[in-house]
Structure 1
Amino acid sequence: MNRQILDIALPSIISNITVPLLGLIDVAITGHLGSPAYIGAIAVGGTLFNIIYWMFAFLRMGTSGMTAQAYGRKDFQEIRKHLLCSLGIALLISIILIALAAVVRETALFFIAPSAEVGDFARIYFNIGIFGAPASLGLFAINGWLIGMQNSRTPMFVAIAQNILNIVISLSLVYGLGMKVEGIALGTVTAQWGGFVMALFMLKKQYQNILFSNTCRLTDAIKLISRNDLSIFFSINKDIFLRTICLITVHFTFIAAGSRLGDTALAVNTILMQLFTLYSYFMDGFAFAGEALAGKTIGAQDRKSYNLVVRNLFIWGGIMIAAFTLTYLIGGQWFISMLTDDADVRNSAMDYRLWILLFPICGMAAFIWDGIYIGAAATRYMLLSTAIGMAMFLSLNYILYPTLKNHGLWAAFNCYLFIRGAILTATRKKVFRSTV
């Protein structure tokens, strides 16, 4: 079982680490164009796309759990239907986003309120970048389906190829043809579509017998998609979408509260959040393994294997707690020094080392259970735990922030992580008694 967990978790971790590289590459190139307005435009545009795509991450999560259960049952008709449903919804959402691009763009710029020059460049970046939406959302659907099929290697190869393509094309357009922001945007969009096409090609190559044989045609699956199938799909993904809204609320409340404390506090929080993000990349890998393996064992009605999956995932979670706690305890100051050379920021960040050490302990159960619950398609309880965690965060921040300031903010954030895991732990028997 450990081999199966690592076969899914390790490629997923590598894929997760490559995700921010698309944005970092864009920033690195614009940083040499001669004007800070270019960097600001990429930052604004990149943040906007991150939010948009984050909101529709249910296309990946919802698809993986349902596909994994169908895979466990060896129900290949259902497997095909889940891929087509997810891809179809991704295409529909993309069309709506492109049609409403101007409204989305101007609404976001109104709230962000960048300078006139940054705003103009950001519009150029967004107007081009929005045409990558079908590819990005389509990849969400495909990656979710592949994870459900116990395959996280293909998404890893696609993510790596996508980043290489982005580097080559963006550098060629900017330094070869003299483009500015439009070259960065075109490079990113081309890489997104390149990754999507590569994923489709690999689907056809690896799953020919399931998707494209004469006896198992995709057209047959399209005809068999019923109103009930769509109802289940939207019900599960509605819960994940609302859960994502809760996550975004916590994220932006955290940023806003930190920014009110001044530039140093905002810089400290940004750096410390990078350490949490690094931890989350690793834990998400094991969560993906939970989605795939828990869904598969639940679909097969194999309680013994399901219990083994849960036990081993939490063993790996414990290993991650020990590894990251020790790493941050010994190397926390070094990590912070790598991220900034500002003495005030570095010294201030070390005052919060306790909260850094609590990340792994408070967050582990939430990550592991999230993956298992997605595999079980028990999304209502995920939404419940996140909503309660969000309410806890907002309440504690309101109470602690006036007196403890940034320490109160970090205390509220760690409690938010802990309560999510605690609720999912408490509800696990009720949920899985009826599914396994």
Structure 2
Amino acid sequence: MVQQVEPASPLRQLITLAVPALGVLAAEPLYLLVDTAVVGHLGAAQLAGLSVGAIVLAQVAQQMTFLTFGTTARAARLHGAGRRADAVAEGVQSTWFAALAGLALLTAGQLLAEPVANLLAGDARSAAAAVGWLRIALFGAPLILITMAGNGWLRGVQDMRRPLRFVLAGNGISAVLCPLLVHGLGWGLNGSAIANVVAQLISATLFVRALRGEGVSLRLAPSQLWAQLTYGRDLALLGLAFQACWVSATAVAAHTSAAAVGAHQVVFQLWMFLAFVLDALAVAAQALVGSALGGNDRGRALRVAWQVTGCGLVFGAALSAVFAALSGVLPHVFTTDAAVLAEMPKAWWFFVAVQPVGGVVFVLDGVLLGAGDAKFLRTGTACAALLGFLPVVWASLSLGWGLVGIWSALTVFLLIRLGNGVWRLRSGRWAVVGAVRQG
């Protein structure tokens, strides 16, 4: 008699996938924290330049998130339906698009770096620092997008370990290079940008090698690429909503003072780091929800969704407690500038308070993206940006609210998204089964 092997519980699978995903997600923002700490000791103007340059580069990547999330959603459904080769083929097409789009962004970015930096920076010295950093860092744009595509298809087939190795290899080497180039060789802020490009080159090369090892056709397939772009349209609009918020926040901080934008850079990078930590649950949920729906198991998808929501709330509350306790110590790791340190508490306590809300919001994003419910996320996020974040953040500029206004805007934004996400989860309308989502 053959003994039947029970499939792992959704919670156990969630944790198994989330742990390596955490390493992948934490590697980049953790490196950015190291970068911020290294540059922070150059002075407020250099830190402000890094803040402006980094937010521009981050928004370029944010606008292309469909390369990761869209590829994961499509690949996960195909993997759940037992069609691994088709799932990997999604990765081939997204990698082609990443390379082509990255080259276009590199060209456009070189032309626009100076006017964009002048628009966002509050003074000429910060703007000049941002331009120099950005012109070098933009050479990593194609590499960033290739890495995003690689993460997407590997997540879809529930392989989280190779992305962890690839990303750690790049960022680990660059974390050593960054202080050596910035301070050791005296290259200053430009050394930081070069270290960024090295990290991206190493990771992208490893992802391309993994794709070649799958034994599928590497040819460009325009019809399949078009199908990805159709789904990616909604995710691109979702990214645009985030882009408008984060760029506005940096611009308002930069026009407040160099100290304010420096403090915002430190706290915002910490917030992004923790968002990526919580996104480990979202990535695992995306893969599991997509696989369950692709295998026509709606009940399993619903169970994963509710379990990950509870985990997000608990982990968010734990992070809030930890960073409340570190409020008197951690800011000094990033800068010794007295003016920046004086500004930091104005953002810090908002950052601490919103962690439980963010924990739920981020994991619900993963659930809905795994289900391919991009249209709802697009509309809900756009409404939260237009009705919540943007009015408050720009009012803070005209009324002189500074960092308090910026982080109040972020809080309102998250609360609106929380309400939208919980309502959608309870409705169950997102859980559409099939190897390819219809509608």
**TM-based fold match above 0.5:** yes
Structure 2 counterpart of 1:52, one-letter code:
V
1:142 matched to 2:150:
yes
CA offsets 1:102-121 (integer angstroms, 9 cap, x no match): 32323323424687777667
Deviation at 1:142, TM superposition (A): 0.2
**Does structure 1 conserve the Cα–Cα contact (< 8 Å) formed by 2:319 and 2:355?**
yes
16 and 131 in structure 1: CA distance in 2 versus 1, 3 angstrom threshold: same
Aligned counterparts of 1:5 and 1:218: Cα–Cα separation in 2: 31
Aligned AA (2:369): I
Q: Does 1:165 align with 2:163?
A: no
Is the contact between residue 120 and residue 250 of structure 2 (CA under 8 Å) also seen in structure 1? no
| Match in the other structure for 1:102 | 110
1:291 aligns with 2:286: yes
What's the offset of the Cα at 1:131? 3.0
Counterpart residue type for residue 139 of structure 1: T
- Residue 333 of structure 1: CA displacement? 4.0
Comparing 171-180 and 76-85, the one that deviates more = 171-180
Change (3 A) 1:329 1:124: closer
The amino acid of 2:412's aligned partner reads C
- Correspondence 1:199 to 2:198: no
Aligned to 1:20, what secondary structure does the other structure show? helix
Deviates most, 378-387 or 101-110 = 101-110
Helix, strand or coil at the partner of 2:354: helix
State the distance in 1 between where 2:250 and 2:124 align.
Answer: 23
Residue in 2 that maps onto 1:302: 297
User: Higher helix share goes to which structure?
Assistant: 1
In structure 2, the CA distance between the partners of 1:128 and 1:386, relative to structure 1 (3 Å rule), is same
**Do the aligned partners of residues 106 and 349 (structure 1) sit closer, same or farther apart at CA in structure 2, a change above 3 Å counting?**
closer
Identical aligned pairs, as a percentage?
23
In 2 relative to 1, CA 336–3 (structure 1 residues): closer, same or farther, beyond 3 Å?
Answer: same
Q: 1:400 to 1:8 in 2, by over 3 A?
A: same
Distance in 1 between the 2:324 and 2:40 partners?
33
Corresponding residue number in structure 2 for 1:431: 429
- Assess, with a 3 A threshold, how the Cα gap between structure 1 residues 28 and 397 changes in structure 2: closer, same or farther: closer
Q: CA–CA distance in 1 between the matches of 2:360 and 2:98?
A: 30
Distance 1:372 1:171, change over 3 A: same
Deviates more, 1:233-242 or 1:345-354: 345-354
Give matches, 1:91-130, under 5 Å. 91-112=99-120, 125-130=133-138
Q: What is the CA–CA distance in structure 1 between the aligned matches of 2:338 and 2:43, rounded to whole Å?
A: 26
For the Cα contact (< 8 Å) 1:365–1:422, is it kept in 2?
no
Q: Indicate the larger mover: 95-104 or 70-79.
A: 95-104
Q: Which residue of 2 aligns with 1:421?
A: 418
Matched, 1:11 2:9: no
Query: In 2, distance between residues paired with 1:342 and 1:173?
Result: 22
Please give the residue correspondences for 1:260-409 in structure 2 after superposition, counting only pairs within 5 Å: 269-336=264-331, 338=333, 355-393=350-388, 394-396=390-392, 405=401, 407=404, 409=406
Question: Residue 154 of structure 2 contacts residue 160 of structure 2 at CA under 8 Å; is this kept in 1?
Answer: yes
Correspondences of 1:22-61 after superposition (within 5 Å): 22-23=31-32, 44-61=52-69
1: CA distance, partners of 2:254 / 2:126: 20
Paired with 1:358 and 1:30, the residues of 2 have a C-alpha distance of 27
Q: Answer yes or no: is the 8 Å Cα contact 2:90–2:153 preserved in 1.
A: yes
Checking the alignment, whether the CA contact within 8 Å between 2:368 and 2:430 is kept in structure 1 is no
Q: Output the TM-score relative to the length of structure 1.
A: 0.81
- Cα gap change, 1:118 to 1:408, in 2 (>3 Å): closer
Aligned residue identity for 1:301? N
TM-score by length of 2: 0.81
Kept after mapping to 2: 8 A contact 1:68/1:299: yes
Aligned-partner Cα distance in 2 for 1:347–1:171: 25
* Equivalent pair of 2:88/2:153 in contact (CA under 8 Å): no
Separation in 2 of the partners of 1:26 and 1:36?
14
- Asked if 2 retains the 8 angstrom alpha-carbon contact of 1:363 and 1:414, the reply is no
Where does residue 189 of structure 1 map in the other structure? 197
How far 1:25 moved relative to its partner? 5.3
Q: Which amino acid aligns with 1:218?
A: S
The answer (yes or no) to whether the contact 1:294–1:372 under 8 Å persists in 2 is yes
Does residue 252 (structure 1) correspond to residue 247 (structure 2)? The answer is yes
> 1:173, 1:271 → 2: CA distance?
21
Gaps of at least 5 residues in structure 1 are none
> What is the aligned length?
422
The letter for the 2-side match of 1:6 is I
Structure 2 CA distance for aligned equivalents of residues 236 and 80 of structure 1: 17
Secondary structure class of the residue paired with 2:365: helix
Higher mean C-alpha deviation, range 261-270 or range 250-259: 261-270
Unaligned runs of 5+ in 2: 1-9, 435-439
Structure 1 position 69 matched with structure 2 position 74: no
CA distance in 2, matches of 1:288, 1:368: 8
- Distance between the aligned counterparts of 1:284 and 1:426, measured in 2? 20
Deviations 1:75-125 (A, max 9, x none): 234213211220111111022123334323233234246877776676555
Matches of 1:263 and 1:36 in 2, distance apart?
6
Question: How far apart, CA to CA, are the structure 1 residues paired with 2:209 and 2:276?
Answer: 27
Question: In 2, Cα distance between the equivalents of 1:111 and 1:403?
Answer: 20
Query: For the residues of structure 2 that align with 1:358 and 1:282, how far apart are their CA atoms?
Result: 16
Deviation of 1:304 (Å): 2.4
**Aligned partner letter, 1:416:** F
